[in-house]
Amino acid sequence: MTRMHDKAISKLRYAFNTVDQNEDHKIDWEEIQDCCSRLNIVLDDSDYSSFTLCDKSKDGRLDFTEFCEFVEKRLLKIFQSIDTNQNGALDAYEIQKCLEKLSKPLSIRKIKAIIFGMDKNGDGVIDFGEFSDFFADMPTADITLVADKWARGFGIDIGSDQVPTSIPPAEVPLWRFMLAGGCGGVASRTATAPLEKIKILAQTSSSKDKVRIIKTLSTVWKTQGLHGLFAGNGTNVLRIFPTSALVCLVYSRMIKYTPVDNEKNPNQPLWRLLSGATAGVVANSCTHPLDVVRARLTVQDMSSGQEIKYKGISHAVKTMVREEGFRSLFKGLGPTLVSIAPFLAIQQCVYDVLKNVIIQGAFSTTNVSTFLVCGAFAGTLAQTAVHPLDVVRRTMQVDSKTNTVQSRMQSSIEVTKTLLRTGGISRLYAGITAAYLKVVPSAALSLLVRDAILGRLKD
């Protein structure tokens, strides 16, 4: 067993325990047959001969070392049947011909994406060690099962949208993907609404009024109750559902159709950066008015004794259009797009790189928690990079003084200069702590809800 990597052997340990139904730490031929039966795999005499050949102790059962040898022989047999030129490596042409022969054709671009996901040493082909790393957890695999995995995108690490998740396999309807993204966004934003409120208050308050997270939460709870903590969340929910759904839709389409020459690998960071940025721009351009209304509802003071200016979503829209004009609904759109494009680009790229390092690296096992950590780190890094732009756009959104030209903050540059003059560089990072505190639970809940709707928690 000299050609399989440690990662493949680690996978085989889990597979061994799964096949070993009577838990006697050995696998007999009946257990192998049962496993193959569940996978609709037909065994022949050569498979039994291989089993008996690996049974060094001649007791009719395989221990773990013998089991690894048995699996290696099966995988090597499959590998060599695909490797038509017998050079010890699988190239795009050989994989394409294998899939066509089994009536599971894929475009050369998708096949190159498969190679990119499996090729650890970067030589552009798949050697047997790399092949076994991906298929060792199928101890009774045959060439049809391997081809089926490839046809379903196995080995392709497409990445995620705003919160880590992969593009669903082809059999998942697009509407379900959008529903999952929207519901995931709603769940995560609702759970973190109090922190969102604190973040916006910190971003839009004057430099002299420092917003303390615990103190502010306590004050809001005492003066406004539960309603105060979730003020503006109704608008947020109406906005985040279509936004998250559109981000998922546009990102998945961008990944599918770029690069347009159908030759370059779509999994390279450049295309992920471009796809993430485009998805953010399109989705947020469509839903920006709801974001502006939500910001107004969030920051209006309900405890000062003054008359409430905005009594709800529709009232806020009518009031803003009447007093400030239709363009008021798109206040801060410029900095929003400037911030959301790099945010999604950075988060997407960082998450995918981290995930690939973990999957392809020395880490033997991965689980939901692993990817949640990757997503949280990527989100935190992206938030740090674009937070100043977020502060600028929030400041523009909640500015309703339109009586004079001088009182209106007309451009992102003017707002930035004002913020720097009144509070220094720290003013551009107001609310960053609350923003950080939002990243982890937001990523966790969004992924959990989305995967539950997509049925991935059963896998």
pLDDT digits (tens, 9 = 90+) for 60-79: 899 888 888 888 888 888 89
Which of 166, 243, 241 lies closest to 451, judged by CA? 166
Which of 41, 244, 266, 225 lies closest to 140, judged by CA? 41
* Percent of residues in the chain assigned helix, strand, coil, to nearest 5: 70, 0, 30
Q: What confidence tens digit (pLDDT) does each residue in 96-122 have?
A: 898 888 888 877 877 887 887 788 888
CATH code for position 264 = 1.50.40.10
Phi, psi of 27 (to 5 degrees): -120, 125
Tell me what pLDDT residue 365 has: 52
295 within some domain = yes
Query: Are 351 and 268 contained in the same domain?
Result: yes
CATH code for position 138 = 1.10.238.10
CB atoms within 10 A of CB 244: 27
CB atoms within 10 A of CB 151: 18
For 2-6, what is the mean pLDDT?
Answer: 66
Tell me what pLDDT residue 263 has: 56
Tell me what pLDDT residue 402 has: 38
454 within some domain = yes
164 within some domain = no
Pairing of strands 27-28, 126-127: unpaired
Query: Are 180 and 47 contained in the same domain?
Result: no
Q: Which two tokens stand for residue 287?
A: 């839903």
Residue 286's domain comprises 174-458
Length of the chain: 459
Report the number of distinct structural domains present in the chain: 2
Query: Are 134 and 278 contained in the same domain?
Result: no
The DSSP call for residue 25 is S
Q: How far is the C-alpha of 322 from the C-alpha of 48, rounded, in Å?
A: 81
Is the pLDDT confidence value at 408 over 70? no
Is the pLDDT confidence value at 323 over 60? yes
245 within some domain = yes
Query: Are 185 and 81 contained in the same domain?
Result: no
160 within some domain = no
450 within some domain = yes
DSSP assignments along 350-415, one per residue: HHHHHHHHHHHSS-----HHHHHHHHHHHHHHHHHHHHHHHHHHHHHHT----SSTTTS---HHHH
Task: For the chain, give the mean pLDDT.
Answer: 75
Query: Are 241 and 380 contained in the same domain?
Result: yes
Query: Are 115 and 45 contained in the same domain?
Result: yes
Query: Are 77 and 219 contained in the same domain?
Result: no
161 within some domain = no
58 within some domain = yes
CB of 358 closer than 8 Å to CB of 366? yes
Query: Are 204 and 141 contained in the same domain?
Result: no
Tell me what pLDDT residue 156 has: 42
